[in-house]
Amino acid sequence: MVPAATTVGGYLQSLPNDRRVSMARVCSMIRRSARGVRESMRFGLAFYELDGPIFAVKSHDKSLTLYYAEKDAAAAGVGRWKGLDVEHRCVEFRDLNCLPLDVVENIVRASLKLRRGRPIEDLPTQAELLEVWGIRKKTQPLRLQSCASSFRMMKKRSLTAKIRQKSLPPQTNNIFSSPILNRLKHCFMAVFIGLLKTAAPTLLMPPQRLVDIPLVASADNAAVQIDRLPLQFPAA
């Protein structure tokens, strides 16, 4: 199973003590010997890149495997180093308590020398190295299984959302509950109240009536009645 750790440090913390110590020593040797190398976790391996993949380290239950990218990096150890697999460009160390760090250093230095002497366009790609190392066959089923699991999870969530949507009460589209119409109603009410306040004094005034008041003027001691003049007084 591919570890869930995303960094080499996190992966080392998840290992048992003996496996953690042995892998940490090999990884430290690579970082010290290969200046500028980039370290990451990929496919359950500690991956190292320098103008492309160059090393990978994998911890097993009872052993540790060092993968190298340059084909002739371990030519000096053919017939001498135990666990060397030239075809798959890897060496397996079966004794975690007694790692031959001189072998690791030899492979790292030879790989760096070969890498610097090759043009970038001739460097092996990650896909090619995974094929040589036999990593793709182990990780591909896990990838397919992960994709299938993700698809089932997405389908389940979609079905759950549809069920929840059906269980909710239907929403009625009431035009009178529209925010715009509510604002218009408030505006009309404000205008109506303003007009009512303006017309109220006139509407509340009491009715008026005409009252004829006779005016009498005296001339030559004779009472003469003058035409009645209409005057307006508010009715009592």
In tens, the pLDDT along 45-57 reads: 999 999 999 999 9
| Listed residue (21, 192, 15) closest to 99, CA to CA | 21
Q: What are phi and psi of 185, to 5 degrees?
A: -60, -40
Q: Of all helices (H) and strands (E), which one includes residue 140?
A: helix 136-167
Level-2 CATH architecture, domain 8-134: Alpha-Beta Complex (3.90)
106-159 pLDDT, tens digit per residue, is 999 999 999 988 888 889 999 999 999 998 644 444 444 455 556 566 666 766
Residue 225 DSSP SS3 = strand
Do 30 and 65 touch, CB atoms closer than 8 A? no
pLDDT, position 155? 64
Residue corresponding to tokens 């979609």: 158
What band does 235 get if pLDDT is binned at 50, 70 and 90? low
CB 46 within 8 A of CB 39: yes
Tell me the C-alpha distance between 173 and 176, whole Å: 9
Question: Higher confidence at residue 82 or residue 144?
Answer: 82
User: In Å, how far are 38, 148, 171 from 180, measured between CA atoms?
Assistant: 61, 49, 19
Q: List C-alpha distances in Å: 212 to 30, 224, 227, 229.
A: 126, 17, 10, 6
Measured CA to CA, the distance from residue 24 to residue 15 in angstroms comes to 10
Strands (E), the chain: 38-42, 45-49, 53-59, 64-68, 84-85, 90-93, 208-213, 216-219, 222-225, 229-234
Task: Tell me which amino acid residue 190 is.
Answer: A
Q: CA-CA distance, 182 to 71, in Å (whole number)?
A: 79
Helices 101-116 and 17-33, axial angle in degrees (round to 10)? 40
pTM (2 decimals)? 0.57
- Read off the pLDDT band of 234 (50, 70, 90): low
Residue predicted with more confidence, 174 or 184: 184
